[in-house]
Amino acid sequence: MNKVAAVKPLPNYELLLTFSNHEVRRFDVKPYLDKGIFVELKDEDYFRKVALCMDSISWKSGQDFSPETLYLRSEFVGNDGGLGFRV
């Protein structure tokens, strides 16, 4: 399983993620914004407060995604070259 090593919020409700296999991927959160607990993420200030949590990401009110979901539903952007680069 690939673990999330770094996260950076981007405009338009996207996240730039670096995984433990050194891949950098872009995850689009927009499809989730009208669903249950994720509605709170529509607040852009709150959305930008995403943090690493137990090999994945989460927000203060408990919204989270599994590392598997983030990896499988994200778009490959590149890799960090194995240099330990963090977004």
CATH of the domain at 53: 3.30.2020.10
**Residue written as token pair 């981007």:** 10
- Domain range for residue 72? 4-79
State how far the alpha carbon of 56 is from the alpha carbons of 3, 71, in Å: 6, 10
Domains of the chain: total: 1
| 3-state secondary structure at position 82 | coil
Which one, of 58, 75, 56, 76, lies nearest residue 66 by Cα?
A: 56
Helix (H) or strand (E) holding 8: strand 4-10
Higher pLDDT, 85 or 61: 61
Residue 84 falls inside a structural domain: no
Mean pLDDT to the nearest integer, 23-28: 97
For the stretch 28-68, pLDDT in tens is: 999 999 999 999 999 999 999 999 999 999 999 999 999 99
Of 9, 10, 18, give the one whose Cα is nearest residue 86: 18
pTM of the model: 0.91
